[in-house]
Homo-oligomer: A and B are copies of this chain.
């Protein structure tokens, strides 16, 4: 049996983490269809039956990857944003920087979430949509909080729509940053801050643009 004494001594949680790391890498690079359980097991340094035993079928493994990576992304952004004692523009800036830094430092994770999870039908697309809804909800919470403090008369529906707009622009820019040589996380975050905040900032003061 492959692995040896050292491998067998690792706790199950650590082993599962290694399998998921290997799976994210394979799914990101080869796509869901082409990635093989053989390669995932080999990359994780375990036998294929152990992958099936711990994490189930390829479908279950892919679902577990989507969940873990989405949780890690949301966790990174939430940690970046900080508490409500920080002014809203600084919180947005910190959250955007955390988001683009996560995407830049975990390109395989970003590819799994933004592309692979959405392009292989159900149940993955539904899983990805639920995770995205969670992120939109988190962003809506931040915008709603800032809007409430500013008292600019922004409705809950406005807040939802603005959160959708912000998440959509962040996704699009993260793909662009991933594909464009030399774009740093800081540059992408600064661009989106310029695009989004000056907009949100004026909205918070009830300075709305309207057709002439």
Which residues of A are at the interface with B, using a C-beta cutoff of 8 A?
A: 31, 33, 89-90, 93, 118-121, 125, 157-158, 160-162, 164-173, 175-176, 180, 183, 188, 190-203, 207-212
The distance from the CB of A204 to the nearest CB of chain B, in whole angstroms, is 10
Given A118-B119, A119-B125, A165-B172, CB of A209 within 8 Å of CB of B201: yes
CA separation between A195 and B134, bound complex, in Å? 21
Collect the chain B residues with CB atoms within 8 Å of residue A172's CB. Answer: 164-165, 167-169, 171
CA separation between A170 and B208, bound complex, in Å? 18
Main secondary structure, interface of A, reads helix
Besides A93-B211, A165-B196, A194-B202, 8 more A-B contacts (Cβ < 8 Å) are A89-B209, A161-B188, A165-B172, A166-B195, A169-B169, A193-B209, A195-B203, A198-B207
Verify A165–B161 contact, CB threshold 8 A: no
Collect the chain B residues with CB atoms within 8 Å of residue A207's CB. Answer: 198
Collect the chain B residues with CB atoms within 8 Å of residue A121's CB. Answer: 31, 33, 119
Collect the chain B residues with CB atoms within 8 Å of residue A208's CB. Answer: 194, 198
16 contacts between A and B (CB under 8 A): A119-B119, A161-B173, A162-B195, A164-B173, A164-B175, A165-B173, A165-B195, A165-B196, A168-B168, A168-B171, A194-B208, A195-B196, A195-B200, A195-B203, A198-B198, A198-B203
Collect the chain B residues with CB atoms within 8 Å of residue A171's CB. Answer: 168, 172
The distance from the CB of A142 to the nearest CB of chain B, in whole angstroms, is 14
CA separation between A89 and B159, bound complex, in Å? 22
Verify A195–B199 contact, CB threshold 8 A: yes
Collect the chain B residues with CB atoms within 8 Å of residue A167's CB. Answer: 172
Q: Which residue of B lies closest to A31 (CB)?
A: B121
CA separation between A212 and B90, bound complex, in Å? 8
A-B pairs with lowest CB-CB distance, top 8: A168-B172, A199-B199, A198-B202, A165-B169, A169-B169, A198-B199, A164-B176, A168-B168
